[in-house]
Amino acid sequence: MGTSDDVLSPAERTSIIRDALAVGVATGAYGISFGAISVGAGLSVLQSCALSLLVFTGASQFALVAVVAAGGAPLSGAMTAILLGSRNALYGLRLAPLLQFSGWRRAAAAQVLIDESSAMAINRTSTPAARLGFLSTGLAVLVLWNGATLLGALAGTTIGDPRAYGLDAAVGAAFLALLWPRLRERRHQVVALLAGAVALGLVPLTVAGVPVLAAAAVALLAGLWIQPRGER
């Protein structure tokens, strides 16, 4: 992996970019919901756009806005957002040896280290393909998510609840489609079921963010445990 022989064919390159744009559209469209909900919770258009640009992780952004909308302290919302966003550190541990970025490239790539870009990279069999999937998806989501946030914030509450249009379901469906090829193997099915069970069990017992983080940790540890030694 990552040798000079790993050259992408034009067809493979086109396929990866096409998939990345599709994921970017599905995920970015939901940014309209965040922009509208954020403004409805009392944040300004500028604050909403700054969150999407600087935080750039949807679950953390929604968590922060939900706490503020409920009358909670902004600091509590920020801590919840940090807890949810910390799962990206686990993605980084898995992707670092695959993407093989170093120096400033690694620092720049960290800005687009999200669920969708991680899933697009993990499914690839070579470093060039993983890099293209990661970067094209991350950049597509970054541009479309921020653009949609601006549109949603400007529209405010006039568009109603964007979830009524099924945008939230589109995001989940797109992410599941990315991961589905990995679930063909029994060991990956075991990890997915175990992580899902832990997350569901913690939902009524913990604050928002903990179930997601716990599931990510279980998936990482269980994956390392059952993975063949030569693939670790």
Q: What is the DSSP string of 105-171?
A: HHHHHGGG-SHHHHHHHHT-SSHHHHHHHHHHHHHHHHHHHHHHHHHHHHHGGGG--GGGGTHHHHH
What CA–CA distance (Å, rounded) separates 78 from 19? 33
Query: Dihedrals φ, ψ of 29, to 5°?
Result: -60, -30
pLDDT at 208: 58
> CA angle, corner 23, sides to 88 and 78, nearest 5?
35
Mean pLDDT for 203-208 is: 73
pLDDT at 135: 94
DSSP 180: G
Considering the chain, what percentage of its residues have pLDDT values greater than 70? 75
Mean pLDDT for 196-201 is: 84
pLDDT class of 75 with cuts at 50, 70, 90: confident
pLDDT at 217: 73
DSSP 70: T
The per-residue pLDDT for range 179-196, each reduced to its tens digit, is: 666 677 777 777 778 888
pLDDT at 232: 47
Whether the per-residue pLDDT at 17 is higher than 90: the answer is yes
What CA–CA distance (Å, rounded) separates 127 from 4? 10
Whether the per-residue pLDDT at 200 is higher than 70: the answer is yes
Mean pLDDT for 62-89 is: 75
Whether the per-residue pLDDT at 79 is higher than 90: the answer is no
With CA atoms as reference, report the closest residue to 52 among 43, 92, 72, 23.
43
What CA–CA distance (Å, rounded) separates 232 from 225? 9
pLDDT at 175: 53
Summary count for the chain: helices (H), strands (E)? 12, 0
Considering the chain, what percentage of its residues have pLDDT values greater than 90? 19
More confident residue, 200 or 157: 200
Q: Is the whole model's pTM more than 0.75, yes or no?
A: no
> CA angle, corner 70, sides to 67 and 72, nearest 5?
55
Sign of the alpha-carbon torsion through 40, 147, 133, 230: negative
